[in-house]
Structure formats: structure tokens, C-alpha cells
Amino acid sequence: MILVSACLLGQNCKYNGGNNNNPKLQKLFKQEEIIPVCPEKLGGLAIPRPPAEIKGGRGEDVLRGQAKVVNKLGADITQEFIKGAQKTLKIAKQNDCKLAILKARSPSCGSQKIYDGSFVGEKKKGQGITAALLAQEGIKIINEEELNKLEE
């Protein structure tokens, strides 16, 4: 079974109420192989919601209590992000997922680069919180951009 960011499957769970539908996912995998998850929704955040970024570190730092997640209005929503990551990991374990295909650059799902906390579009190397937690548990993560390259 493959864990997939729900927004990549067309679910309207993005911060702005939209999605990042990637039709290649449905072409490459059978529906019954895919487990859709949105960590931010699982963490109790609303749709739509203000955009959020990790301040002072990366996903693994947030899990260690050494960085936080803030939204564009300045609210600390670290606990919601951690809760969403933990619920996502539970779903992955329940379904014996060894692979996750996650949305690039998200503070939850990003697996190579994430936005740097300045809310001006700058990125830094690192994983989002859910991606970091899944990786710590041995789940292989690729983002949808790597998936697109694989198919070429």
C-alpha cells in the first residue's frame, strides 16, 4: 500500500481550499493501492486556513521540540502539525505502507526542501514534519516531482 498526500489526488485540502491534483498517480497506481492522507486536516486544521511555515529549523527539529510551526497570522500551530504527523504515521502502520508519495515543499509533506519560515517564498533544504516522522520509521518517501521524472 502507498500513502499519498490527499491534495495530489484532487482532494481540496490545501490551505487555500484547492488541490494539487496529479493525474499521473491514478495512471501509475490502482485506486485500491493508494491510502490518501492530509496530515494538516488530520491535525484538526481548517480548510481553508492561513498558510504555515516552519520557523527555526526543519521537520525533525519540530519533532524534537526545537522549532515551531507558525501561520501567516503569527499563530503557533506546532501541536496541530505534530498531531497530524502522528495520525498519519498510525494510518501508514495500520496499512503496512512502505512508500509514501508526498507533496513537495509543504511544511508537513515536503521531503527535500521546505519554505524557510519567512513567508516570502524562500526555501531551505529539509523535510516537513510528517515526512520527517515517516522517514524516521523507515518509510521511503518520494515527492510528486520525482514521480513525474520517473515516468519520463
Residues that bind ligand SF4 (CB under 6 A): 5-7, 13-14, 38-40, 103, 106, 108-109
Q: Which of 56, 41, 39, 48 is nearest to 129 (CA)?
A: 39
C-alpha distance across the termini of the chain, in Å: 23
Residues forming a β-bridge with 55: 68
* Nearest distance from C-beta of residue 41 to ligand SF4, angstroms: 6
* Nearest distance from C-beta of residue 56 to ligand SF4, angstroms: 20
- The cell numbers describing 126, all together, are 529539509
* Nearest distance from C-beta of residue 14 to ligand SF4, angstroms: 5
> Which amino acid, 132?
A
Q: Which is nearer to ligand SF4, 16 or 136 (CB)?
A: 16
Q: Which is nearer to ligand SF4, 54 or 109 (CB)?
A: 109
